[in-house]
Every structure is written in C-alpha cells, then in structure tokens.
A and B are shown apart, each in its own frame.
Chain A
Amino acid sequence: MPASPARDTSRLLMDRSEPGRVGAVLPPCDVPAQPLPDSALLRDRLDLPEVSEPEVVQYFTALSQLNFSIDTNFYPLGSCTMKYNPKVNDEMAFLPGMANIHPLQSSQVSQGALELLYRLQGFLGEITGLENVSLATMAGAHGELAGMLMIRAYHQARGDAGRKKVAIPDSAHGTNPASAAMAGFDVVDIPSDKDGSIDLEALRAAAGPDLAGAMITLPSTLGLFNPNIVEVCQAVHQAGGLVYGDGANMNALLGRAKLGDLGFDVAHLNLHKTFSTPHGGGGPGAGPVCAGPALRDYLPSPVVAQGDDGSGYTLSGPPCSIGRMGGFHGNFGVLVRAYTYIRTLGAEGVKAISGNAVLNANYLMQALKDTYHLPYDRVCMHEAVFSADWQKARGVSGLEIAKRLLDYGFHAPTMYFPLIVHEALMIEPTESETRQTLDSFIEALKRIDEEISSDPETVRQAPHSTPVARLDEALAARQPDLRWKPKA
C-alpha cells in the first residue's frame, strides 16, 4: 500500500488538485502593467491541477517506480537494443553551453555546437561507409521517410518518375512499409527464404522498370546476417533502383561491416539504440540519414558545412535537398550524447560493442535452444529469435511466457515479431549485461518451461508481482478512455 495519499498513484493530478495550492512561484512583474486586450480574446477557464511542489515530486517518483527500466531490470527487448545509457552523456547534454543555446542564434555564437555536429556527421559516415550525413531527422521512422523521399526525388530528377514500387521483406519493421507509403510508394512484399534471408528470386521477379528501390534491414529482424546481401543490392541496382538500409540493428555490425561497402545507397541509424542515448519511455531518439554518392545532394536540410576560408562552421542545405524535416536542426541533445559515446569508445570500443553484443546473443541462443524452438538454427547476430510453439502445444502462449518473465524481474522479450515466426520471442541481450545476468535469465526461461508442465495456470495468469495484473486491452479499445474527466 502507498505510504501516503500524495504517493498514491491511483489518484491522478486532477484528483489531487486543491484550490490555492501552487507548485512554483514566479517573480513579481517588474515593468508597469500594460493595457490588456479585448476581454473577448482572453481565456476564462483553464483546467490545470493545483498541487504543491512536494506532491508533484512524490507523485511522479511513485509513478517512476512502477516502471521496468535498464537501470533497474535486464531488458532483453529484441530489436530495441536496450543497452546501458552512460550518465556522462546526459551530463554533457545538460551543460549550459549545450542545453541553453537557441537554435536560431547566429553561427558566430554557436561554433562549438556546430563543430560537434560536423564531427558527428564524420563519425557516422565513417561507421556506415555512407559518408554524407544529415542529423536533422529525429527518430528512425523519420529518417526512413527522409530516405524514401530522397529516392523519390532522385528518380524524378532523372525523369524516371514511373518508379512507384518499393520492395520490402516480409520480416521488416512496420515503419518500413508505412514510411514508403508516406513517401508515395506502393509496397511489394518480398518473402523470406528457408534460411531467413530475403528470397533473391522473388526480389529479382519484383525488380522491374517500376522499382524505385528496396528497404533492407541488416541484420534482418530475425537477427541474421543475410550472406547474399551484396547480390540483393546488385539485383536492385540492376533494375535501376536504390537500396535503403534500416539501421535499427547496427549494434551487430559496428566496425564489422560498412553498409556503403555492401551496396547500400542510404541508411538511417537509431542513435537511441546503437549509440546508447536513453530511450526515455518512447523517445526522444535521433535517426540521422547517411547517404552515398547517388543520394548525397538530396539529404534533408540542414547539414553542417565547414567554410574553406577558416570562417567556421555553418548550417546549409544540400543542392537538391528534399527540404526541412523538422522545425530546427534535429534532436541536438540526443546528438551530443551519441557524440560523447563514440568519443569515449573510439574505434576499438565501437568494435568491442558488436563483438560482445553478438557473443551474448549467441550464448543465450545456445543455452536455450533445447528448451525453446529455434526456427533458424544458425549463428545469430545481436539477437536470437525463438518460437514458443513447443510451449504453445502444451497450452501456454509466447505472450504468457513473456508476462511470466516479469515475475522473475526480467523485462519481456519482443513478442510476435517478426510476423513470419509463430509465437516469436525475440531476445536481444546487448553488450551491457554480465554473464551472470545472462545465466540467471537462461535459468528463468528454463524454469518457466518447467512450470508449464507443473503449474501451467500460474504461467497463464502471469504476471503476479507487477503493480497491475494482466490488463484488459480489448476494453481499452472498445471504450476508449483517453483523458481524465470530472466525475459525473
């Protein structure tokens, strides 16, 4: 039970509002009062809570304690790269000379920020082998939209506007087809072959004169590196298309392979995954776009350029830019964190990330593959995708296993994705965890498998130790209750 009503999270802010309480004090007005406008323009009612500062702190602290997080729990959520978020990165982003600078102040008084961005463009270009970088996009999907608009603009500039189709593997993240559609393309689904790679023949069949490009995730969402990736890129290029790389899984490839070398034309990176910037419960992220020679002139605005004459760094627009993707220059605070991370690690450290992330995933995969069905039994990359169909045959679903893991103090793996694996459980340990943590996670999954035989009901009804039990999602969707309302 909560220790006090102020810490009781069942009462929302408006429930705890008391007339006259204030949570912040502002200075008195030090200029003469000015005439007010016509009262018809002025507001007569504003429904915001009235609570004191201690109540705000107690309430939100109590709320925070209802969350699982990387700092409190192993969080092996596949495809999300929930690695440790270094605290120094946050501290650097909060320096007054970083956090308190205005996006429109003259470049003369923001040279430090611009130089940092210029260097980061260089780092990300070096890591991907796609040397031209715009940092303006604010999430992975935002980068995807920019990349697809760049491909569209490229074909249009060549008088080749009939290219309307984009090939996307059936294992792709939902953002890929959604981004392609927002950029005006029709999506062609490409099946996966028996090894979990893109079916090359199906891709070739789809690669005609109407193909604008393909969106490829490498390693794939099955956690596998496609050994035919060079042929895949060639097939798209031979048809006159361009290859977009979804960089969500770059944690596996850091320092091991460069997308540009393999044949990709453009890619985004998820700095909030691979480059350790905190996910914040769903953002902020940053999704820089990295382009090779074919697409560099189309990058979103702005990019940072260095003057030849020693005049310093400036914001500029690439010559055929698709335009501006956001109000200013991207999520600078996130970019400062990623810069700090890369500077802390250097080339050796960057390569140690992929090595240890892939090692940890394979270690888990090896230890669990006799207990949980492994549909693609190959060396995996940064994550291992199991199927719970053996357990499902015994009456317990992947979802229920995932919920039961919460009782053991572990965040659940990603479930039911990728769509092509039945009862998918996608586990991504990252490089941040100790071997002892991995061992205890393995032990928990094995014990849950035993529970399915000995006490299936406990697993089916899980979780039991979380702040709430299994929630009724159907009710939430049938009768949407989306904000606080006064009691009738």
Chain B
Amino acid sequence: MNPDDRKYTEEHEWVKLEDADSRQALVGITDFAQEQLGDIVYFELPEPGSTVAHLGKMGEVESVKSVSDLFSPVSGEVVEVNAALTDNPEVANNDPFGDGWLVRLVMSDPAELDGLMTAADYESYISGLS
C-alpha cells in the first residue's frame, strides 16, 4: 500500500525522486499520516525559493483539532508548492501519494535518500506503532 518508488521518514513524510539528473523530487505525507490526522483543513508550506533542511521543519498541517509539524525528508530548494491544497486540503486525505503531494524541490544532496526508509521498512515501522 505504500508505493515502492519512494523513501519514507519516521515523521510520516515521503520523498520521490522524479528525475535524477535535475535532482527534482516530490514530497508528501503518507496514507498512515492522513489517516491519523483525520480531516485535513489547512497546510502551511514553505514559499517557493526557500530552502529546507534534511529532517528540518518545513511547515505545519492542521486537522480540525490538531496541529502537526511537517519535516522535509531531504535538504533542498523548494521550486513549487501544490496549489491545489490551498482551496482543497482534503486532496491530501484522498490521494496522499499522488495528487496530494505537498512540495516539489531540488535536492541538494541525493545521498540523503540512502538514510531514509524503504516502503517495506516503513510498513514494519508503522505496524510497530499501532
């Protein structure tokens, strides 16, 4: 259920390398994360052009009665923020691994991917949580 084409963090974000040459990658939250949050009502995301740090705070996600920090799985420069989330944050509930992506960034150190979890690692990680 967690796609194999990307890597995962313990904070329930994923990163998917779109293009190795340009180091462009998408970042989002996992299905487990959206399930735990319930109805997502708002994202606070970094501005395009800003830089984010490896496992550093990059924003917040709000449900009706909770606020959680979002962490970037990798360091890099944000090039695009998913505009669909501004008016329809529920897209991240409905399609967290697809249309519900949060930011597109250019990674500064692709080697950081090696330190993240595979889909299989992440699945055993979350089964240990519940």
Contact = CB atoms under 8 A, between A and B. Distances in A.
A170 to B, nearest CB: 16
A429 to B, nearest CB: 26
Contacts of A473: 39, 64
Contacts of B64: 473-474, 477
A478 B63 CA distance: 9
Contacts, number: 17
A478 B41 CA distance: 5
Task: Identify which of B41, B65, B88, B89 gathers the most chain A CB atoms within 10 Å of its CB.
Answer: B41
Interface residues of B, number: 10
Contacts of A478: 41-42, 88-90
A398 to B, nearest CB: 13
Nearest to B63: A474
Contacts of B39: 473-474
Interface string A416-452: 1000000000000000000000000000000000000
Contacts of A474: 39, 41, 63-64, 90
Nearest to B62: A477
Contacts of A416: 65
Nearest to A479: B87
B54 to A, nearest CB: 25
Contacts of B90: 474, 478
B85 to A, nearest CB: 11
A416 B41 CA distance: 20
A342 to B, nearest CB: 37
A273 B66 CA distance: 27
A477 B90 CA distance: 11
Nearest to B90: A478
Interface string B83-111: 00000111000000000000000000000
Nearest to B64: A473
Interface string A73-116: 00000000000000000000000000000000000000000000
Nearest to A416: B65
Nearest to A473: B64
Nearest to B89: A478
Nearest to B41: A477
Interface string B59-79: 000111100000000000000
B130 to A, nearest CB: 13
B38 to A, nearest CB: 8
A473 B63 CA distance: 10
Nearest to A477: B41
Interface in B47-67: 62-65
B35 to A, nearest CB: 15
Interface string A449-477: 00000000000000000000000011001
Interface of A: 416, 473-474, 477-478
* Closest A-B pairs by Cβ, 6 of them: A474-B39, A477-B41, A473-B64, A478-B41, A474-B64, A477-B64
13 contacts: A416-B65, A473-B39, A474-B39, A474-B41, A474-B64, A474-B90, A477-B41, A477-B42, A477-B62, A477-B64, A478-B41, A478-B42, A478-B88
Interface of B: 39, 41-42, 62-65, 88-90
